[in-house]
């Protein structure tokens, strides 16, 4: 796997200034022939609770799971878990992992046909079983799909306890079908497991969603990529956030490593991601320059790429007041995600005035940054009269699925100067 790292910033600071911002773009070009540097394990978790009987969901879930299995590459280890009031391994035998081949994929499809909707929802138990199966394959690229249609039914705090125990051990992409599940619940899982959350509004859309997730997972070639930030005694990291392809705050995931900190980036294929790093530094004198941070990309302990974030103090206001284009863009994208969440919270609380103000600001930011996907999602919740000025009106009737789509996809971003 070949990696490059590039920093975008205005290194010039006014006298007395102490905040340094940079956007770091990490790009991986893939190993020779796209070969993995590690093995791979895939686990599909399908909610089989009683509510999945509604609207043909369980039938659609069976078809989606079978289609997903067909996308698993030969040689990849895999398992299927049926999620009810407990975790039940549907394939292969309990405690085992299958190795993908034409025969095992056919066997898995037959097992999936037996999937019936009957029971409760216990996401903590489902994830714990997945973690136990993944533990058999240390060093693998580990990916799971979790599908549900309802609220978690376990005792309060159990899911959080499980997530504390298994956090970041594998990537888990979460999908909710219909409109009776909680976005906050699946987002909590996705955030702790370095995955994504999204709505599948109609059961008929499940197959395409599963195929997309498995295909993306099969494209990963590195298992455990990390961002390491080394700072001098005069600098401290304020935050590290992924800002493209979606906003994800990594600050709380820091693992101390001497004067450095490591931040998990999950598994990688041939792709590019952007990160916003902010440092608090001790102000220098005019003409002083310093390293605010040395940013390294690691796989294990192997350094794959390095880039520096710098600070130089100047009395030239033309230099110090110039805002870097990338920093400005992603600051706006982060604000966009934040005001959408604030608008949704206000709307649910019946505070229409605050909701209108927040959604108006969101429309303004989406238009200014070229985030047409988010603007389209907003237009299903509010009437956008003038996006440039942020003038919107709340719609009287909004489908629950449209509001949940705005919620789950509010963190998706676009790059500077790029449309969709």
Model confidence pLDDT, tens digit, residues 203-232: 999 999 999 999 999 999 999 899 999 999
Same domain? For 55 and 197 the reply is yes
Task: State residue 32's pLDDT score.
Answer: 45
Q: Give the integer Cα–Cα distance in Å for 296 and 301.
A: 10
Same domain? For 278 and 140 the reply is no
Give domain status of residue 417, yes or no: no
Task: State residue 31's pLDDT score.
Answer: 52
Same domain? For 114 and 232 the reply is no
Same domain? For 295 and 372 the reply is no
Same domain? For 83 and 202 the reply is yes
**CA within 13 Å, CB half, 36:** 19
CATH number at residue 173: 3.40.50.410
**CA within 13 Å, CB half, 337:** 21
Could you tell me the CA-to-CA distances from 405 to 122, 175, 183, 364 in Å, in that order?
Answer: 24, 11, 9, 19
Host domain of residue 228 = 3-29+224-317
pLDDT tens per residue across span 311-370: 999 999 999 999 999 999 999 999 999 999 999 999 999 999 999 999 999 999 999 999
pLDDT tens per residue across span 386-395: 999 999 999 9
Buried b (16+ CB within 10 A) or exposed e, 351-385: eeeebbbbbbbbbbbbbebbbeebbebbbebbebe
Same domain? For 130 and 116 the reply is yes
Same domain? For 56 and 169 the reply is yes
Closest C-alpha among 38, 75, 22, 32 to residue 299? 38
Give domain status of residue 355, yes or no: yes
Q: Give the integer Cα–Cα distance in Å for 338 and 358.
A: 9
CATH number at residue 354: 1.20.120.1690
Same domain? For 389 and 337 the reply is yes
Of 218, 250, 270, the position where a domain reaches its end is: 218
| Counted domains in the chain | 3
Task: State residue 416's pLDDT score.
Answer: 81
Task: State residue 187's pLDDT score.
Answer: 98
Of 168, 184, 218, the position where a domain reaches its end is: 218
Q: Residues in the chain with pLDDT < 50? A: 32-33, 418-420
Computed on alpha carbons and rounded to an integer, the radius of gyration of the chain in Å comes to: 23
Give domain status of residue 109, yes or no: yes
Of 163, 198, 218, the position where a domain reaches its end is: 218
Same domain? For 161 and 302 the reply is no
Give domain status of residue 93, yes or no: yes
Give domain status of residue 420, yes or no: no
Same domain? For 270 and 389 the reply is no
Task: State residue 137's pLDDT score.
Answer: 97
Q: Give the integer Cα–Cα distance in Å for 187 and 193.
A: 10
Same domain? For 189 and 48 the reply is yes
Give domain status of residue 204, yes or no: yes
**CA within 13 Å, CB half, 153:** 16
Give domain status of residue 361, yes or no: yes
**Sign of the Cα pseudo-torsion (191, 196, 201, 205, in order):** negative
For 89, residues 6+ apart whose C-beta sits below 8 A from its C-beta are 79, 80, 81, 82, 95, 96, 129, 133
CATH number at residue 306: 2.60.40.3670
Task: State residue 418's pLDDT score.
Answer: 43
**CA within 13 Å, CB half, 279:** 30
Same domain? For 98 and 179 the reply is yes
């Amino acid at each position: 796997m070949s990696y490059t790292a590039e920093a975008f910033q205005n290194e010039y600071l006014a006298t007395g200034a102490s905040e340094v911002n940079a956007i770091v773009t990490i790009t991986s070009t893939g190993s020779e022939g796209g070969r993995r540097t590690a093995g791979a394990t895939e686990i599909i978790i399908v909610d089989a609770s009683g509510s999945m009987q509604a609207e043909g969901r369980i039938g659609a879930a069976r078809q989606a799971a079978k289609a997903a299995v067909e996308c698993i590459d030969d040689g990849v280890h895999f398992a299927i878990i049926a999620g009810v009031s407990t975790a039940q391994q549907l394939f292969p035998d309990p405690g085992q992992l299958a190795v993908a081949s034409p025969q095992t994929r056919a066997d898995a499809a037959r097992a999936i046909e037996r999937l019936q909707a009957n029971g409760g929802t216990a996401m903590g138990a489902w994830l714990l079983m997945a973690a136990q199966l993944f533990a058999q394959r240390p060093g693998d690229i580990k990916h799971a799909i979790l599908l549900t249609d309802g609220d978690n039914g376990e005792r309060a705090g159990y899911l959080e306890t499980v997530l504390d125990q298994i956090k970041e051990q594998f990537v888990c992409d979460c999908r909710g079908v219909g409109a009776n599940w909680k976005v906050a619940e699946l987002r909590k899982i996705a955030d702790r497991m370095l995955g994504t959350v999204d709505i599948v509004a109609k059961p008929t859309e499940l197959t395409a969603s599963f195929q997309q997730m498995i295909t993306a997972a099969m494209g990963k070639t590195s298992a455990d990529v990390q961002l390491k930030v080394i700072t001098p005694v005069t600098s401290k990291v304020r935050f590290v956030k992924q800002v493209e392809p979606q906003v994800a705050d990594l600050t709380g995931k820091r693992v101390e490593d001497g004067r450095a900190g490591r931040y998990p980036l999950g598994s990688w294929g041939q792709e590019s991601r952007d990160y916003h790093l902010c440092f608090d530094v001790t102000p220098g004198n005019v003409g002083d320059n310093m390293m605010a941070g040395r940013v390294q990309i690691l796989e294990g302990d192997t350094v794959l790429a390095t880039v520096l974030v710098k600070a130089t103090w100047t009395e030239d206001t033309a230099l110090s007041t110039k805002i870097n284009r990338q920093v400005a863009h992603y600051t706006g994208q982060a604000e966009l995600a934040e005001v959408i969440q604030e608008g949704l919270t206000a709307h649910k609380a019946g505070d229409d005035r605050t909701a209108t103000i927040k959604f108006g600001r969101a429309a303004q930011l989406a238009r200014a940054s070229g985030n047409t996907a988010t603007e389209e999602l907003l237009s299903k919740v509010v009437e956008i009269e003038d996006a440039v000025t942020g003038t919107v009106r709340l719609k009287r009737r909004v489908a629950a699925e449209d509001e949940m789509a705005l919620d789950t996809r509010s963190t998706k971003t676009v790059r500077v100067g790029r449309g969709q």
